[in-house]
Amino acid sequence: MEPLTISPINAFSDNYIWLISDGSNGFVVDPGDAAPVMAALTALQLQLSGILITHHHFDHTGGVAELQSSTGCKTWGPVGSPGGPYDHTLQEGAVVSVLGVDFSVLEVPGHTLDHIAFYSESQGALFCGDTLFVGGCGRVFEGNPPQMRRSLEKLRQLPAETRIFCAHEYTLANLHFARLVEPNNQRLQTFLEECEEKRRASLSTVPSLLGAEREYNPFLRWDEPDVLGTLKRLGRLQDDSHDAVFTAVREWKNQA
């Protein structure tokens, strides 16, 4: 099977709606706005076959009803979500066939309690909504920091070549914060410069690779001595448990 095409549809000020296509049909992930999706489908002459939802926030679901009405497509979303009802509700371990490709469902609560992610090993692709960003992670609105860290640990264990298709262009702000946490991380500095160049050219910094994220994303580096050292030096660390380190970094980012 040919690899599916995955391309971004820009929405609002910094959202990405992901369009998955086989050349004739398409799925979209987290369509907060129907208009740019319909425009992309028309331009590419695609039929919308389905919608995948990672969590219930309106900037991820606001276009669902209109897209369903316009195209008759089906929806897949998390069980127990206040954003439903969906045609198909999903829990950990479920598998969704997207244009003939299987995507596994991972429960990743923290940002919201209903948050899920979609992962395809064959495509090397993860759609993670607002759980993991390039250089960062989502705010913890409904869950708690240890829960969020466990969700990120689940994602951190995926293969290094996995492409991270997150839902926002937050990269530069995330990486500038990451430099505060690890000022001596040369891999981080190099990547920041690459991303700054992309944004100057109005190019997306997403997707990134999970293996690279492990090298510079402070929210995946709770066991990195340099991260602990910075937190201790600034008096931000209560103890050196993984949960305490992650919580300290998340609280610091909330204030940044």
57 is catalytic: yes
168 is catalytic: yes
Given 33, 56, 115, 168, the catalytic residue: 168
8 A C-beta contact, residue 36 and residue 10: yes
H-helix segments, the chain: 34-44, 58-61, 64-71, 145-156, 171-181, 186-200, 210-216, 225-233, 242-255
8 A C-beta contact, residue 227 and residue 191: no
Given 22, 30, 56, 60, the catalytic residue: 60
111 is catalytic: yes
Given 55, 56, 114, 115, the catalytic residue: 55
Residue type, 83: G
Closest by Cα among 147, 97, 139 to 118: 97
Given 30, 33, 56, 111, the catalytic residue: 111
Given 22, 30, 33, 59, the catalytic residue: 59
56 is catalytic: no
Distance of CA 206 to the CA centre of its chain: 9
Given 22, 30, 33, 130, the catalytic residue: 130
60 is catalytic: yes
130 is catalytic: yes
> Cα-Cα-Cα-Cα dihedral of 56, 203, 157, 238, to 10°?
-80
Catalytic residue positions, numbered: 55, 57, 59-60, 111, 130, 168
